[in-house]
Every structure is written in C-alpha cells, then in structure tokens.
Amino acid sequence: MSDKQDPNYNGKVLSSGEILDEAPKASFAAIFDMDGTLIDNTPFHYKAWQLLFKKYNMPELSRETYKGEISGVPIANTVRRYFADADENLIKTIAHEKQAFYQQEFLPYLKPINGLENFLAELKDGGVKMAVATSSDMADVDFIFDTIPIRQYFDAIITGDMVNEPKPSPQIFLKAAEQLNARPENCLVFEDSTAGLKAGKDAGMKVVGITTAHPTETVAKAARLVINDYAGMSLQKLAALFDE
C-alpha cells in the first residue's frame, strides 16, 4: 500500500502507512439505572428492608411485596408508606438505618454485573454518551462507584432527589436525556425494575431489560430486548435496535 494519504481521507494512518478506518460515532445515547442494572444488589436491598422491618417489629416482608411495592422506589417514599406516622426527621433516620443495613450486607459482595465493564468501555470508545438515572441518592452512588471503577464512563448522573416525580414517572429519564443533549427517541434505557421499565417506555425510549429482579416474561412486557447480563452485548447489537 502506498504511504501517500488522500488529504480528504478521514481515517487514521498507522506507522506502516496502512490506513485504518475510524468507526462511525454512535447516533444514540444510553441511560442506565443503577441498582439491579449495573450491580446485582437486589437480594441485599431486600435483606436490608427485612432487617429494618424486624427492628421496628413490623410484619415480615415477603419477596413478592418487596418486588411489587419497594424495588425501584426511592427509599424515603417507601418509608413514608410503611411508617405513616413518621415526621420528616424520623423518615431520614429510618432511611439512613436502611442504607446502613444494606451497605453492611452488600459490601463484601459488591461487583459489577458480568460483562458490564467491557461493554461500557466499548460504548465509550464508540462515542456513546452515557448517564446513570437512579432512584437512589448520591451517597449510594458514591458507595457503589468508589468500590468499582466505572464512574469515568458516565457523562451525567441523575439521582432521585433531582426530580419531582419518582419512577414509574419518566421524568428522571427525560432529565438524563436532556443532560446528554439527546432526543428521547434516540436513547436506550437499561432497567431491571417494573417501575423503571415502565418509566423508560413512557419516556419514548427503547428499553433493554435485565433479569436481576424479575423473570424474563415480566421484563419482556416493557423491554425491546431482554438480557441476563452484559456478556455478549455490543455496540452493534444496540444500534440494530434502532433499525427495527
């Protein structure tokens, strides 16, 4: 191959003179929930709520109730629901206790979902803008991101206290799209909870559901694509969702 390069060519030239095409930059953005989506912590949140209910002599919390009424909902909202007589100071105290139980139970096992880091790196290299949109607060985000090194992949982090309406309202995903300067129809949402799946769909975004909290048949009701983890996921597979 000749060492000469067409001045109008936009590819890269290797030291040997070989021309390497640059991959086209992605035309979509990706928005990730955190709990159950970046990390498989659903069993530990459930355990933390069980410990909290036990501390306050409340009826035992079933897994079905947790999945249907608590998973994906901001902590303070759940505390208000189950501790109806609590004032705001007590709500904050109880929420803090719940998070302390959660961190105590989860820290020894904290790791990203299988394949996540390689997948995020591929998306970043492909020019995909990415955000986290979580019902958790920034302290919980910091707890996760200070333990596993994935913060650098995200261009924006939206937490539950930054919006007025929690999931299943689409507000948090719409705010994330705004932060990424992306149109909703050009966004993909990765979610595990039924509230989050509905929020992504109602935001007008394409939804990828992960089966950490619910079985495939439940996730598939709102998701364009259902995955068990990120192994085998690729930029090409995501781009194909916009061709359907």
Say yes or no to pLDDT of 5 above 80.
no
Q: For position 11, what pLDDT does the model report? A: 40
CA distance 241 to 128: 15
CA distance 117 to 32: 13
Instruction: List residues bridging with 158 in a β-sheet.
Output: 133
CA distance 218 to 204: 19
The tokens for 154 are 């995200």
Q: For position 203, what pLDDT does the model report? A: 99
N residues, the chain: 244
The residue behind tokens 């970043």 is 124
For the stretch 80-130, pLDDT in tens is: 999 999 999 999 999 999 999 999 999 999 999 999 999 999 999 999 999
For the stretch 48-73, pLDDT in tens is: 999 999 999 999 999 999 988 998 88
Confidence at 26, pLDDT banded by 50, 70, 90: confident
Q: For position 83, what pLDDT does the model report? A: 95
CA distance 45 to 37: 13
Interacting residues of 180 by C-beta distance below 8 A, sequence separation 6+: 29, 31, 129, 130, 131, 155, 156, 187
CA distance 116 to 109: 16
Mean pLDDT of 20-27: 58
Confidence at 170, pLDDT banded by 50, 70, 90: very high
| Domains of the chain with CATH codes | 29-39+113-241 (3.40.50.1000), 43-109 (1.10.150)
Q: For position 25, what pLDDT does the model report? A: 67
Say yes or no to pLDDT of 18 above 70.
no
Query: Average model confidence (pLDDT) for the chain?
Result: 90
For the stretch 130-151, pLDDT in tens is: 999 999 999 999 999 999 999 9
Say yes or no to pLDDT of 24 above 70.
no
For the stretch 8-17, pLDDT in tens is: 434 433 333 4
Q: For position 1, what pLDDT does the model report? A: 41
Q: For position 13, what pLDDT does the model report? A: 39
